[in-house]
Amino acid sequence: MEQGDIFSSGNDRRLVLSLDDFRNIFSKALRQNVIRNQQDVLGDHNLNPGMSIPEVSKPAAVLIPVIGRDQEPTILLTRRSDDLNHHAGQVSFPGGRHEKSDSNMRDTALRETEEEIGLKRDAVEVIGELPKYETRTGFSVKPIVGLIKPPFELNVDRKEVADVFEVPISFILDRKNHERHSREWQNTMRHFYVFPHPKYYIWGATAGMLVNLAELILAADETSKNDQ
Cβ 35 vs Cβ 128: under 8 Å: no
Residue 145 has pLDDT above 70, yes or no: yes
Domain range 3-178+185-223, its CATH number among 3.40.50.10860, 3.40.1160.10, 3.90.79.10, 3.20.20.10: 3.90.79.10
pLDDT digits (tens, 9 = 90+) for 191-225: 789 999 999 999 989 999 999 999 889 988 877 66
Region 177-184: mean pLDDT is: 86
Read off the pLDDT of each residue in 56-79 and give the average, rounded to a whole number.
95
pLDDT on residue 38: 43
Could you give the count of Cα atoms lying within 13 Å of 208 in the half-sphere of its Cβ? 23
Residue 87: how many other CB atoms lie within 10 Å:
15
% of the chain beyond a pLDDT of 70: 78
Q: Note the pLDDT tens digit of each residue in 76-134.
A: 999 999 777 676 689 999 999 999 999 999 999 999 999 999 999 999 999 999 988 88
pLDDT of res. 208? 93
91 touches 77 (CB < 8 A): yes
Mean pLDDT of 141-151: 97
Q: How confident is the model at residue 9 (pLDDT cuts 50, 70, 90)?
A: low
CB 145 within 8 A of CB 159: no
Domain ranges of the chain: 3-178+185-223
More confident position, 48 or 145:
145
